[in-house]
């Protein structure tokens, strides 16, 4: 089965719709979301409705948990906390109900799914080989999918060796048939790896192959929605830079 892996939507309807169109045109049979449907963007209800309709599996990210009151907003950055409070005030009861049912990890598939990491499904940013090493020691699946960092990357470890990894660009392919893996698809709604296009991943579970994808979307429209909602301008500005 070929699955589209998405993460970190962050209320960016324009990016999510563009990725869903690309997934529809691909050979993927399902879509799995690693969390943070809401957060920095201005259209949380629309993004949650799209996830309700199209995601076969959906996790809770730290922003989802913050909006539903499961995490104190004092633990978030100023901009993230402001966006979370705004989101709490505008989302529909249906959106809140959906977010309330999500968990930050899902371990019932052939691969492990975590919003952040196998060691800390909510908060850990896995960005170094040392962190990857510790997570690979902790995980129960040979291959795990992670989000949260907004960076398209992968780490792997063969038996008897140390973990290594790197960021990944569009079209790069992974052979995950051997070794242990942590694979991050990047962010749909707010990439932070220098490429402003929406990031996602095609994963062939039977062949053990993964391909990184980037999709163009209406960045100006997403930024305009943020500004119209009077959210911090920096949340709109950064979209053009992939930062």
Cα(145)–Cα(153) distance, rounded to whole angstroms? 11
Quick: pLDDT tens for 132-158: 999 999 999 999 999 999 999 999 999
Residue 214, SS3? Answer: strand
Q: What is the pTM of this model?
A: 0.97
Quick: pLDDT tens for 165-219: 999 999 999 999 999 999 999 999 999 999 999 999 999 999 999 999 999 999 9
Q: Which domains occur in the chain, in start order?
A: 2-240 (3.60.21.10)
At 126, give phi and psi (nearest 5°). -95, 100
CA atoms within 13 A on the CB side of 218: 9
Quick: pLDDT tens for 45-89: 999 999 999 999 999 999 999 999 999 999 999 999 999 999 999
Q: Strands 112-114, 180-185: parallel, antiparallel or unpaired by DSSP?
A: unpaired
């Amino acid at each position: 089965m070929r699955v589209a892996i998405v993460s970190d939507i962050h209320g960016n309807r324009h990016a999510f719709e563009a990725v869903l169109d690309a997934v529809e045109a691909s050979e993927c049979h399902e879509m799995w979301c690693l969390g943070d449907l809401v957060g920095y963007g201005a259209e949380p209800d629309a993004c949650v409705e799209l996830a309700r309709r199209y995601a076969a599996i959906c996790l809770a990210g730290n922003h989802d948990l913050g909006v539903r009151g499961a995490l104190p907003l004092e633990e978030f950055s100023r901009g993230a906390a402001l966006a979370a409070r705004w989101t709490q005030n505008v989302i529909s009861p249906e959106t809140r109900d959906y977010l309330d049912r999500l968990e930050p990890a899902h371990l019932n598939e052939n691969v492990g799914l975590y919003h952040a990491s196998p060691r800390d499904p909510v908060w850990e940013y896995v960005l170094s080989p040392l962190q990857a090493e510790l997570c690979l020691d902790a995980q129960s699946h040979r291959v795990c999918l992670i989000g949260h960092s907004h960076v398209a990357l992968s780490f792997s470890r063969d038996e008897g060796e140390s973990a290594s990894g790197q960021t990944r660009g569009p079209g790069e392919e992974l052979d995950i048939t051997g070794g242990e893996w942590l694979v991050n698809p990047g962010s749909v709604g707010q990439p932070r790896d220098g490429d402003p296009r929406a990031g996602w991943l095609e994963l062939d579970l039977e062949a053990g192959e993964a391909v990184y994808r980037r999709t163009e979307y209406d960045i100006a429209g997403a930024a305009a929605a943020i500004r119209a909602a009077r959210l911090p301008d920096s949340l709109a500005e950064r979209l053009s830079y992939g930062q």
